[in-house]
């Protein structure tokens, strides 16, 4: 696990600039550094040593004749198998690294190499003879890749903050991204909060030559349910496939640990991974916000050591600038801070951890997936539901009314992912300038078109796999772990696991049959049964436990004087007035404090943007 930076070279001090860019991401790889420059390209690398920890694994790495050079961030779990094929084809290796497998593999197979890989990756290869740059990002977007074209310079790397060190970088706020963020709570498109800086989307590769950028998708999720196997067969297949994935994800020359919350995902990983150490964080003593007691008991039952930390409110609020600095773009997910602290305590004992991200998206785990066809009302004619929904939409919003409004819309009209903060009308009223961000449905519709004709659960899963998971879940997983020089691996997000999950019928992903004990788990149904089968009997009840996932008591804190006043002063600051109408912001805050409405997530979305803006535009990309 590492960090990469680079740029096309048109400057006289390339060595100094690439070193400065590398320094910006030192946290991603404190063990070693390396660079390569010529008259056309500059490449930099920071290394966190996991495989072949000797200096022979340092990057950049070259092919046999030195005509190609690579910098790579990630892990390829099947690199030994690919290496054998390459040796048979005549390639000569100087190291035992997966990095060298990538460069020889690209020599041999070109972009077809990508379909052979099993792992998480973001890498670039410079072909000196062709004067061509090739780069790729993994299937799910576990590892990041950003790029920007400023004048004649192409910049690229693992984190945007590295670009700040380049003399050609022009820092400007992208207000379109702000509009999107206010609705989604993250940046949902390839655009970022920095104008002219983009993400290479998951499962895409690029070629850059003669000033021209060509980008193509090389893989996509393909749901194709198979009704032939029965439930027991699917459970066995999930068990076998996931065991294989966990085994592959444990490949390392250093110790591997595991995160542990009270949900089935992380518990399933910890139970079968046979790691020695698990890590948990929580808040206070209220079981709604603290899973430490449960995690310690679970760890004891599987004979593992659990390390935990109770995060104080002062620690949480005091870390916000640091968190948003490492995030590169504002992310209003309160659990990002909890993830930072659990990464922090893990990094004190080891370099690699396993985590449960991706299970909900792949196996159908979010509660919202149980909404379609979940009530008698869903079985009524669509025309009737739309008419009732239209009438309900004219009434004041409240819980019962909102039910009919939601049920009166098709999934494409109402679902944009697991967070829907401000509607287009609400963000228009909130912003002081015209919002040119597209309607949320314009952003989501291209994904819905790809699964046209499929059931609503599959449509929602497909959207979340491409947007929510990459834009929120995996963004914070990478940035918070790397902020602590820790490698985070996600065995659910494995190509073989996904190939299996694509075939599982919807009724085994989400079921509404509550007739027996075995069918009461309505989400991730088949996966829960696999976890129950594989989990020791003393802890099998984890398959039934409602997941909390390091929950954060934001709604409680915002009612306390200390934190209410911190947010209010931020909402009344000069920065806030540049972007927002203060009156509706204060109203949101006061209504929440008085108990009129739970506005905590909306308040947090705006507040976190202002924290991020302070770091990158008022403090010039430095947290205090």
> What would the pLDDT profile of 231-253 be if each residue is shown by its tens digit?
999 999 999 999 999 999 998 88
In this structure, whether the domain defined by 231-364+467-544 belongs to CATH 3.40.50.620 is answered with yes
Q: Cβ distance 263 to 548 under 8 Å?
A: yes
**Closest C-alpha to 493, from 513, 520, 465:** 465
- Tracing tokens 């927002």 back to the chain, one arrives at 580
**pLDDT recorded at residue 372:** 63
Checking if the pLDDT of 54 tops 50, the result is yes
Say what the pLDDT of residue 253 is.
81
Report which DSSP code applies to 510: B
| Banded model confidence at residue 519, pLDDT cuts 50, 70, 90 | very low
Helix (H, G, I), strand (E, B) or coil at 210: coil
pLDDT single digits (tens) 151-164: 889 999 999 999 99
pTM: 0.93
- Among 1, 2, 76, 272, the one annotated catalytic: 2
Q: Which two tokens stand for residue 255?
A: 């110790």
343 is catalytic: no
Query: How does the average pLDDT of the chain come out, rounded?
Result: 91
Residue 198 pLDDT > 70, yes or no? yes
Give 109: exposed, middle or buried? Use CB within 10 Å, 0-12, 13-18, 19+.
middle
Please write the tens of the pLDDT for every residue from 485-500.
999 999 999 999 999 9
* Environment class of 490 (CB within 10 Å of its CB; exposed 0-12, middle 13-18, buried 19+): buried
Expressed in percent and rounded to 5, the helix, strand and coil fractions of the chain are 45, 15, 35
Burial group, residue 594, by CB count within 10 angstroms (0-12, 13-18, 19+): exposed
Residue range 347-358: mean pLDDT, rounded: 95
- DSSP one-letter string for 51-98: SS-SGGG-SSEE-TTSSEEEEEEEEETTHHHHHHHHHHTT---SSS-H
Question: Spelled out in words, what is the top-level CATH class assigned to the domain 2-217?
Answer: alpha beta
Distance of alpha carbon 54 from alpha carbon 50, whole angstroms: 10
CA 114/CA 118 separation, integer angstroms: 9
For CATH 3.60.20.10, the residue range(s) in the chain are 2-217
**Residue 17 vs residue 151, higher pLDDT:** 17
Asked if the model's pLDDT at residue 290 lies above 80, the reply is: no
Checking if the pLDDT of 540 tops 60, the result is no
**Dihedral (Cα; 297, 299, 301, 302), 10-degree rounding:** 170
Least confident of 92-96, 194-198, 339-343, 480-484: 92-96
Q: Could you tell me if 153 and 10 are in contact, meaning their C-beta atoms sit under 8 angstroms apart?
A: yes
Number of CB atoms found within 10 A of residue 399's CB: 6
Query: What residues does CATH 3.40.50.620 cover in the chain?
Result: 231-364+467-544
Give the whole-angstrom CA distance, residue 200 versus residue 157.
10
Q: What is the mean pLDDT of residues 452-460?
A: 95
Find all residues with CB under 8 Å of 607, minimum gap 6, and list them: 567, 570, 571
CA distance 170 to 462: 35
Percent of all residues in the chain with a pLDDT value above 90, rounded to a whole number: 77
Q: How many CA atoms lie within 13 A of 434 on its CB side?
A: 1
């Amino acid at each position: 696990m590492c960090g990469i930076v680079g740029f096309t070279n048109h400057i006289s001090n390339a060595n100094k600039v690439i070193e400065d860019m590398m320094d910006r991401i030192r946290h991603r790889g404190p063990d070693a550094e390396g660079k390569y420059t010529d008259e056309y390209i500059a490449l930099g690398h920071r290394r966190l040593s996991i495989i072949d920890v000797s200096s022979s694994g340092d990057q950049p790495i070259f092919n046999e004749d030195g005509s190609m050079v690579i910098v790579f961030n990630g892990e390829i779990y099947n690199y030994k198998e690919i290496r054998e094929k390459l040796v048979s084809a005549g390639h000569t290796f100087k190291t035992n690294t997966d990095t060298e497998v990538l460069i020889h593999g690209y020599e041999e197979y070109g972009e077809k190499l990508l379909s052979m890989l099993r792992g998480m990756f973001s890498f670039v290869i410079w072909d000196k003879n062709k004067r061509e740059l090739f780069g790729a990002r993994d299937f799910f977007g576990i590892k990041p890749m950003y790029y920007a074209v400023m004048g004649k310079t192409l910049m690229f790397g693992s984190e945007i903050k590295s670009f700040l060190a380049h003399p050609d970088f022009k820092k400007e706020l992208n207000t379109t991204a702000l509009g999107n963020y206010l609705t989604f709570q993250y940046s949902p498109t390839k655009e970022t909060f920095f104008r002219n800086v983009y993400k290479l989307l998951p499962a895409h590769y690029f070629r850059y030559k003669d000033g021209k950028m060509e980008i193509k998708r090389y893989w996509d999720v393909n749901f194709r349910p198979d009704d032939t196997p029965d439930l027991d067969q699917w459970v066995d297949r999930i068990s076998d496939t996931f065991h294989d994935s966990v085994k592959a994800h444990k490949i390392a020359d250093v110790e591997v640990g595991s995160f542990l919350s009270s949900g089935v995902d992380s518990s399933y990983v910890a139970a079968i991974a046979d790691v020695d150490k698990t890590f948990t964080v929580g808040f206070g003593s209220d079981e709604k916000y603290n899973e430490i007691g449960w995690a310690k008991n679970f760890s004891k039952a599987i004979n593992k050591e659990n390390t935990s930390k109770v995060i104080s409110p002062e620690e949480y609020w005091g870390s916000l600038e640091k968190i948003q600095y490492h995030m590169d773009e504002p992310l209003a997910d309160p659990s990002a801070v909890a993830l930072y602290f659990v990464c922090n305590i893990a990094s004190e004992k080891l370099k690699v951890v396993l985590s449960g991200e991706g299970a909900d998206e792949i196996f159908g785990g979010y509660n919202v997936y149980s909404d379609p066809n979940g009530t008698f009302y869903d079985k009524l004619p669509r025309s009737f539901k739309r008419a009732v929904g239209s009438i309900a939409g004219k009434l004041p919003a409240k819980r019962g009314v909102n039910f009919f409004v939601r049920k009166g819309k098709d999934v494409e009209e109402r679902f944009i992912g697991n967070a829907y903060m401000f509607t287009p009308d609400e963000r228009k009223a909130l912003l002081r300038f015209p919002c040119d961000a597209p309607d949320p449905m314009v952003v989501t519709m291209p994904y819905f078109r790809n699964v046209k004709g499929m059931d609503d659960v599959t449509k929602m899963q497909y959207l979340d796999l491409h947007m929510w998971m990459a834009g929120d879940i995996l963004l914070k997983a990478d940035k918070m772990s790397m902020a602590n020089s820790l490698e985070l691996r996600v065995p659910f997000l494995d190509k073989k696991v996904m190939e299996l999950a694509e075939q599982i019928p919807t009724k085994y992903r989400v079921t509404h049959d509550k007739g027996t004990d075995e069918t009461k788990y309505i989400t991730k149904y088949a996966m829960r049964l696999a976890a129950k089968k594989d989990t020791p009997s003393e802890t099998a009840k984890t398959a039934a436990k409602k997941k909390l996932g390091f929950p954060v008591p934001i709604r409680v804190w915002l009612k306390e004087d200390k934190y209410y006043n911190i947010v209010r002063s931020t909402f009344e600051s000069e920065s806030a007035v540049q972007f927002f109408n203060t009156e509706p912001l204060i109203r949101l805050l006061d209504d929440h404090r008085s108990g009129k409405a739970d506005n905590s997530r909306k308040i947090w979305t705006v507040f976190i943007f202002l924290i991020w803006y302070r770091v990158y535009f008022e403090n010039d990309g430095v947290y205090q």
